[in-house]
Structure 1
Amino acid sequence: MVEWVPLGSGARPVPRPVADPLVWAAAFAGALTLVAVLNGTVGAGRPAFALTALSLLAALLGLCARFAAAPGTALLCWLSLNGFAIPPAGTLTWAGRRDALWLACLLGAALVGTGLARVVHARAAYRRLGAGPGSGAGEPGL
């Protein structure tokens, strides 16, 4: 049963995801910055470090994004990975299985971040709205 609760009563709505273009702008700028920092510290030609860092970036961006933003986020991260983290820098290539695996890894990270955020927000909203006496919220195991 759905019970309508006025927002002025202390109940807070589930946060709205950030607009897709803002997530993509953050993915573009963040991925380029991250790859530049990694190239300066670890060195170019070490894509495992870059893939790990970009996957973490995609997951973090997924925490505030919609599911629809995940493919664009993964693609923008992959463009930075492919274009600047592996030699020759500035040249996009397609190496079949490797790049498909990288794209899948980045997409999976973005989807995991988004899914995790949705579960956490839904659980928090359930606890806030169902915290009345006798509702069972707050009991162990729920």
Structure 2
Amino acid sequence: MLEWKQVRSGTRPVPDPASTSIVWAVAAAITFALVAVFNFLDGQGDPTLDLVAISVTVAVVSTGARLTAAPGTALLCWLVLNAYATAPIGALTWEAPYDLGRIVCLLAAAATGTVLARLARARSAYHRLTP
């Protein structure tokens, strides 16, 4: 019995991730814009909503990044969050359990976004290459 299969010319590889510096710049700019909007809308208050919105944004921005960009992305976003979303504005402060929790949350969001995107791309590339 003969079985006909379509021959694909040229395989499409998994796309290369974006440059780390570009990911950091985009994440920091979006974080700064989100904090500015939230400060304008609800004033200087509890930055929990800021943290949730920034974590989601970091996960989305990290879908095009390398996993090695995750710590820097989390640190840059934490710096903006700490300096402009918590009182006193414009001053970096350190409250160990609270700030460490925020850094871990941002790092987890960045790593999750990167890993899920890379797995999805690898899976789709695998399906393109196998009959």
Query: TM-score by structure 1 length?
Result: 0.84
Distance in 1 between residues matched to 2:48 and 2:81, nearest whole Å: 10
Counting aligned pairs with the same residue, the percent is 50
Gaps of 5+ in 1: 1-7, 133-142
| 1:83 CA drift (Å) | 0.5
How far apart are 1:45 and its partner, in Å? 2.0
Alpha-carbon offset, residue 10 of structure 1: 4.2
Shift of 1:82: 0.5
The runs of at least 4 consecutive aligned structure 1 residues that moved more than 6 Å come to: none
Higher helix proportion (structure 1 or 2): 2
Does the residue aligned with 1:31 lie in a helix, a strand or coil? helix
Partner SS, residue 64 of structure 2 = coil
Matches within 5 A, 1:1-142: 9-130=9-130, 132=131
Cα distance, 1:11 vs structure 2: 2.1
Matched to 2:33, the amino acid is T
Counterpart Cα distance in 2 of 1:42 and 1:64: 31
**1:7-38 CA distances to partner (integer Å, 9 max, x unpaired)?**
x8142110110000000111111111110011
Quote the offset at 1:41 in angstroms: 1.2
TM-score (norm 2): 0.91
Amino acid at match of 1:43: G
CA RMSD of aligned residues (A): 1.1
- 1:46-99 CA distance string (max 9 Å, x none): 210010011011101110000000001000110111000011110100000100
**Larger RCO, structure (CA 8 Å, separation 6 or more):** 2
SS at 1:46 equivalent: coil
Once the two structures are TM-superposed, the CA of residue 109 in structure 1 deviates from its matched residue by 0.2
**How many residues are treated as equivalent by the alignment?**
124
